A and B are shown apart, each in its own frame.
Chain A
């Protein structure tokens, strides 16, 4: 109860303060802006309701990009983490590359990928996967490496093959750490999606935010951001739920 009431209370308080400051024109005056550039929460809610179909349509596009991007990052990231755990050579050789992959500014790479692969889903999935790959891989690898060497000795002495050691000891040991990686990935994925869509897209929340920005549709822009934030909350909630179902021993 407390876990829900406290954040909800804080959000209500912030929205209330914002409502007062925006509707009295206090923020716009302080920033010397026109009133319509600083929408109040009530106006954003109105925009959210009025454009609900448009927002839902675009949110669905972005959500699909995010889910597919995370799935790709999971498949490649877990595969890579296992390979790097198995092979010291591969680990030493590719670790700097993986860190470097995280340093690539998406704003730079996104337009290039759009030129290469066009305006469709493809480049968005690649960009989101690229961003999510790092936290997933690094956390999965850390998890695999946190296996107690004594447990490995015990398992070897109990006739466990390499695969049995992996499935019965290493994989379950790595799971909590992997979920940490997924949680980080799902909250950065919407940001990556927006950048990917800005580089060239015909649909999606990022694309909608971009066109609303050009048309001074500030209230709807905030509404789109709220939808994006709700999406991140939903994804992290689902991840936490999955973690509780899978990692039952913690």
Chain B
């Protein structure tokens, strides 16, 4: 599903977060939004998901321009996993199905297959506090995926993880998107993560956020992450992104 953000401005009271920003995402493509902390990239994600409305400009997801239509087309994965502690892992993952009116047994059965596929088998009944950080994040991603929406909006999904787990989770997400391609918007402050996981990466300036560069990733979601991130072509694009990020931060 195509995403089109055209001339969007947004502010919280007197604080201007986005300034006539335009960017587009291809159908079944992964669009990265990279920028310094507080540049409004999370706000942009919430605008896409229909959780907020812009002050000016248009945000369209497929043929929907209104907030309700965007909300129906996007599944939002917040920065923290926000698993509900009173539900088991599988009930957390199946939350969207339950919200759609599916019975508990059916919803669990539908989620169970994915637990197997995403390396969570055996942890269906576990409470969130019994899971490791990486597993919690995987359950949160499953919860987003199971909603069955055409667009996935991920807000710094791996920011809270340690470096090793984060690299593992990036490879895991790349594999998940190779087998089940979706239109994805990924917000991160990690340039390397963005260039590994995304097809195209938009670099945002400091607040009020606008696009300072748009880059095409050389080997999006390739199976061998370590080989990709040390590849000279990848390193060159990464340096270009870093330069744009530094320029935009001034």
Contacts and interface: CB of A to CB of B under 8 A. Distances in A.
A143 B8 CA distance: 37
B197 interface: no
Contact of B76 (A153, A164, A169): A153
A24 to B, nearest CB: 57
B128 to A, nearest CB: 8
Given A148-B82, A172-B86, A157 B76 contact: yes
A168 interface: yes
Contacts of B147: 157-159
A153 B100 contact: no
A150 B82 contact: yes
B173 interface: no
B100 A154 contact: no
A32 interface: no
A105 B51 CA distance: 48
A151 interface: yes
B99 interface: yes
Given A157-B49, A158-B96, A249 B76 contact: no
A220 to B, nearest CB: 48
B95 A158 contact: yes
B86 A157 contact: no
Interface string A146-167: 0010110111111111001000
B84 A172 contact: yes
B99 A154 contact: no
Interface string A193-217: 0000000000000000000000000
A39 B46 CA distance: 71
B51 A156 contact: yes
A154 B82 contact: yes
A199 to B, nearest CB: 43
B82 A168 contact: no
Interface in A21-77: none
A248 interface: yes
B49 A158 contact: no
A150 B78 contact: yes
B86 A154 contact: no
Interface string B81-110: 010111000000001101110000000000
Contacts of B49: 157
A242 to B, nearest CB: 16
B91 to A, nearest CB: 10
Given A153-B46, A153-B78, A158 B86 contact: no
A249 B100 CA distance: 25
Contact of B75 (A150, A157, A168, A169): A157
B99 A160 contact: yes
Contact of B80 (A150, A156, A161, A248): A150
Given A158-B143, A164-B99, 6 more contacts: A150-B79, A151-B78, A153-B78, A154-B77, A156-B51, A168-B99
Interface of A: 148, 150-151, 153-161, 164, 168-169, 172, 248-250
Closest 3 CB pairs of A and B: A157-B76, A249-B85, A158-B96
